[in-house]
Amino acid sequence: MSPNKVMMHGWINLYKPVGLSSAKAVAIIRKQLNCSKIGHGGTLDPLACGVLPIALGEATKTVSYMMDCIKKYEFTLRWGYETTTDDKEGFSTLVSDKIPTKDEILSCIPKFIGTIKQVPPDYSAVKINGRRAYSIARTAENQGQKHQMDLKSRQVVIHDLSISSHIGNETCLRVSCEKGTYIRSLGRDLGRILGSAAHVSALRRLNVGKFDIKDAISLDFFKSLRDSAEAQKIVVSLLTALDDIPAMSISHEEAIRIKMGQRISYSGRSSMEKRISVAICGGLPVALIKHESGIIRPIRVFNL
């Protein structure tokens, strides 16, 4: 069903299934809702499933804030060999007979908590001289050549890492991390530090900011939509992505000026200096604003 175009503004907590790219999931919802402005808050690989926040209308202006949210994943690590892609879709490379015990894994987990350095997988979206790493790797693979990516390590932040189960040659773990963290790299590095070899065989995103997997909506819901009113029921406020940003109440007159891109004077708390906040008028978000030297400057205006 493709309803008449109805402008919707807000977020959808989508459950992306395995085997579908994030871009394809967005395309399906775009078609079903017949909407023009749509995006997502953090790519999930086709191998992965779970929470994929979808932004509609003016909420697309808050995507960067959603991508900054803490994310939680559950992943299965299969011991025995690494792969070219660091997941089950790649070809086997480094092989090891060692399967670490649960205690051995627990003993090295603290090394992966906090700010750590991590080298992205060869098959990743990192750019090298203007080209995506996965494109370079895939081209070399199709030509039967070995590729040497030499990707640089980068700092990522991991808040928590724990074991859910450890059975045979597979270990299921849960991780809470900040943006830029590659779970496939985490699994690969965990295997190496334990003197073994491993790859991620399953990956599920449990949470992105306020969006939790228990509330996620399946794609089947959108495929069976009868009218846009049904879709409106599951769209949440664009403020969801701005939950950690201070809110400031402004008058109707101030809202008009800000929507026109004008600056207004401000004599509030010094703690707001140079901070970004969201201006609210009548319960509706007006704009993202910044406080500088007693002046409020609009950064992104919402046309609601």
Catalytic residue among 45, 86, 122, 189: 45
The DSSP code sequence of 128-179 is ETTEEHHHHHHHHHHTT------PPPEEEEEEEEEEEEEETTEEEEEEEE-T
296 phi/psi in degrees, rounded to 5? -100, 125
The DSSP code sequence of 245-276 is S-EEE--HHHHHHHHTT--EE----GGGBT-E
Residue 165 tokens read as: 């189960």
243 is annotated as an active-site residue: no
Residue written as token pair 């907590």: 13
Task: Please name the residues in contact with 228: beta carbons below 8 A apart, sequence gap of 6 or more.
Answer: 3, 4, 6, 8, 33
- Give the three-class secondary structure for 199: strand
3 phi/psi in degrees, rounded to 5? -70, 165
Q: Tell me the pairing of strands 92-95 and 81-83.
A: antiparallel
Interatomic CA distance for residues 189 and 183, integer angstroms: 10
Q: Which residues are catalytic?
A: 45
